[in-house]
Amino acid sequence: MRHRFLTAVFTGLLLLGCQEQENHAESKVPTPPENAVAVVNGVPITEDLLKLYAAVYKSTRPKAKASRRELLDNLINLVLLAQDAEQKGLDKRPEVQAQLAFQRINILASADLRQLLQGRTFSEEELKKTYERLVSQAKAKGEEKEYKARHILVETREEAEQVIKALEGGKDFAELAKEHSIDPSAKKGGDLGWFTAKQVVKPFAEAVAKLKPGAYTKEPVKTRFGWHVILLEKERTLKPPTFEESKKSIEAYLESKMVNEYVQKLKEKADIEITSGPERKEGS
């Protein structure tokens, strides 16, 4: 467990020290910075690096308690392992270089986003307008509706048509579901409970939306699961959360929108060339 923890923390910290190690390796008598808390084989460990390690340690082991000296000893161990890896040439391995490159990209990208969002606040008016727009969009898409339905799932269209004929002849839907449906809900007479359009596949949702309570589909409905006969029992309108309840999620939505728009602008100004071939399908 300790080995796995050290490896995880080391990955995040190695980037911060690798450039510094290279610079000091070129100097015969390196001068430790004023905020150095330790020097390992000529490479300083700064107070900032120790603070970062402490934060990583706390996030990965929230219940663990460690003194400043214990944290420093752990960090020294990581630096020794990093130095040993470099002496063995492990930092020249392609997979290690790729991991280091990715960590650098990830750290810089995160720093850029923090700076972008730093101090950014949204006015009450902006939050309310966004809330009203999202609620209106949900209503337009029918997302505020919830349905209670039963269904009978069979393997072929012919089987579904036979079920529909049986319903037209007065057979009970629940009993037919128990007898013919291959879906786990068959035991409950095909009862699916309450659901929204987003919770089911598109053809199923579209078919349900066209039904009135008490009606069933007159034509079989095809999805990737098979052929369905659907009975809509009830429908109700969901009450959207209040503005106050939605504030945090709206702020997160606006921040995400802001980031997406910022990245899009960077893309428009960038010179991007995709040099790899077309994506290969799984198994090819």
pLDDT over threshold 50, residue 164: yes
Fold of 136-237: Chitinase A; domain 3 (3.10.50)
pLDDT over threshold 90, residue 284: no
74/230 Cα distance (integer angstroms): 62
Closest CA to 153 of 233, 53, 223: 223
pLDDT over threshold 90, residue 279: no
For 163, other C-beta atoms within 10 Å of its C-beta total: 25
Termini Cα distance of the chain: 37
CA angle 6, 8, 11 (to 5 degrees): 105
149 class by beta-carbon count within 10 Å (0-12 exposed, 13-18 middle, 19+ buried): buried
Pairing state of beta strands 43-46 and 36-40? antiparallel
For 229, other C-beta atoms within 10 Å of its C-beta total: 30
pLDDT over threshold 60, residue 27: no
pLDDT of residue 208: 96
Range in 12-21, 189-198, 255-264 the model is least confident about: 12-21
pLDDT of residue 278: 58
248/265 Cα distance (integer angstroms): 26
pTM: predicted TM-score of the whole model, two decimal places:
0.57
- Listed in order, the ranges of the chain carrying CATH 3.10.50.40 are 136-237
194 or 31, greater pLDDT: 194
Q: Are 35 and 48 in contact (CB under 8 A)?
A: yes
pLDDT of residue 16: 42
Percent of the chain residues topping a pLDDT of 90: 75
- Which distant-in-sequence residues (6+ apart) come within 8 Å of 26 by Cβ? none
Q: Are 229 and 164 in contact (CB under 8 A)?
A: yes
pLDDT of residue 76: 97
110 or 3, greater pLDDT: 110
For 82, other C-beta atoms within 10 Å of its C-beta total: 20
Which residues are paired to 236 by β-bridges? 146
275/281 Cα distance (integer angstroms): 18
2 or 177, greater pLDDT: 177
Instruction: Reduce the DSSP state of residue 231 to 3 states and report it.
Output: strand
Closest CA to 238 of 142, 149, 150, 134: 142
pLDDT in tens, 227-250: 999 999 999 988 888 999 999 999
121 or 20, greater pLDDT: 121
| 143 confidence band (pLDDT: 50, 70, 90) | low
| 33 confidence band (pLDDT: 50, 70, 90) | confident
pLDDT in tens, 1-23: 444 444 444 444 443 444 444 44
